Structure 1
Amino acid sequence: MEYSKKTRSSPRTLDLNHIENTLSIILSQVEEPLPTITEIAEQLKINRRVLSRHFPVLCHKIVTKRRHYMRMSHLAAIEQCCQEIKEAIVSLQQSGEYPSESRVCELISNPGYFRYQQVRLLYKQELQSTLSSL
């Protein structure tokens, strides 16, 4: 039986101060969205688990801030879609067409947002209000 001649590579020394400073700078950035922990680790050329193990608090803050930003941008996109639906219903009503869901979907930029309950509820309310005003 022959053993592999490859020996284990010696562990790299980490400049923990440099890594901590980098994480702090990233956390203090106003630029949104923040990069993921994996992207930060790739920038620093280390494994993301090293970051999580050595700096759990900073990593948690970065993840929390990124999640909050992503959630807010998602809600803003839903609000934009709701505004587009209102405009589409009005334009269809003015042209004398019934504002069916499929016709409204043709006029909005992202019809996939109809899968969200908030968007669907707004569509139904707007449809009811336009039909009751006739």
Structure 2
Amino acid sequence: MKSEYEKIDLKNDENLKKNNEQLDHSIENILKINREKNEKFQLMQSKMAANYFDGLNFFNRNDTFSSENCKNFYKIQPRRPSRPTFSSHQIFSLEKAFEKTKYLAGAERSTLSIALGMSESQVKIWYQNRRTKWRKSTIKQNYKN
């Protein structure tokens, strides 16, 4: 049978353990955090290695391209949205507007996009590309003269 002092010591030990477990800066918690971080890091490394080796598996062992591997490679790659094709009427109207002004304000761009059935961003990008083409042609003409 345990003496009264031993019972008190056991209770004190249990209380100390409970208090230490609740503290963020206790040794047990610090070691637990480091262990969790290490496990997460190892998991991340193994995923990265798996992705790397999956990429290598697209090719045959002798580093030649096989048509099957190339097909699989391109299936995985996200596809870019297709480029819009403008009708001849839209291009004609855009060119006509470009002759009048090289830069469109927001309201002008909005009305032009509604009139042509295009988005404002399509009109904006078309104007940016057209200005680039215009600058190149003027530089070329100045160089010839």
How does the TM-score come out when normalised to structure 1?
A: 0.34
> Greater Rg, structure 1 or structure 2?
2
How does the TM-score come out when normalised to structure 2?
A: 0.32
